[in-house]
Amino acid sequence: MHTTDDIMRAAAAWVWFPRDSEQQNDELQLVRYPARFGGGVRASQVDSTADAAAVVDHAIARTRAWGESRLTVWVSPSDSPDLEHELLRRGGELFDTVTVFASPIEAIEIHIPVGRSAEVVRSIEQVREVDAINVAVWAQAPLDEEGLSTEFSDISTVLAAGTGLRVLGRIDGEPVSTGGCTIVDGFTRLWGAATLEHARGRGAYRAVLAERLRASAELGARTALVKGRISTSAPILARAGFRNYGDERGYRLAV
């Protein structure tokens, strides 16, 4: 079984590189998001011998060099140095907090109400339904036909390789929720959960969560790792038996 140290290292190592993004890892991990996801630069994984002010200066300079005006910094207990005080000093806006949760998959219990279902995405029509949910929830630009085809190819490739999958959830047949997962070193990283506003609190997220765990176990994962927003999924995860391993906070800086 994974130890607490294993879990903390896995949580700290987790970063997402969207298709068509740019990245730099020097002092901290910086990722320039494509316009479809709203642009801007996301920073995380601080690992530097410089002081906090110098690290933030570096991140701001890189953001400007990329032609972006918004820097988002996620701080975690594993950062060195801790940037939180420096971000607050510069007027950083705390916009979100997530709790790092983990649990052996076999220990998680999820009650799914009648009429809620979830399925692994295996067709381009399912990708179209997933995209409609993501557009509504994340306010991102919809994929065109070429983008849908590329997304379907990416999902199919990782599914065939056994390294990840995407799930689509329904209430009485209506597509209302989605989420993905990536298999890394025996962990299933659960990411991208989104549920249409009118369907929240009705069990669709739980169905998506359960299906991701079931399919991940089939692919060899032993431990589930997820960063749940305290305002939405965190209470559900805690009730399902996930253990709390601390918080990560997101700050925004206009640069």
Nearest Cα residue to 76 out of 99, 59, 95, 60 = 99
Nearest Cα residue to 184 out of 227, 221, 226 = 221
Nearest Cα residue to 15 out of 46, 60, 49 = 46
Rounded Cα distance between 154 and 157, Å, is 5
Supply the pLDDT for residue 231.
Answer: 83
Supply the pLDDT for residue 45.
Answer: 96
- As given in the structure block, the two tokens for residue 209 are 């969560």
Report the run of H or E that residue 132 belongs to, with start and end: helix 124-138
Number of other CB atoms surrounding residue 55 within 10 Å: 24
- CB-count exposure of residue 18 (10 Å: 0-12, 13-18, 19+): middle
Supply the pLDDT for residue 111.
Answer: 94
What domains lie within the chain, and their CATH numbers? 4-99+250-254 (no CATH), 104-246 (3.40.630.30)
Supply the pLDDT for residue 168.
Answer: 98
pLDDT by residue, tens only, the chain of 255 residues: 899 999 999 999 999 999 999 999 999 999 999 998 989 999 999 999 999 999 999 999 999 999 999 999 999 999 999 999 999 999 999 999 999 999 999 999 999 999 999 999 999 999 999 999 999 999 999 999 999 999 999 999 999 999 999 999 999 999 999 999 999 999 999 999 999 999 999 999 999 999 999 999 999 999 999 999 988 899 999 999 999 999 999 999 999
Q: How far from 216 is each of 115, 192, 203, 205, 222, CA to CA, in Å?
A: 23, 15, 20, 16, 8
Nearest Cα residue to 183 out of 233, 217, 151 = 217
pTM of the model: 0.91
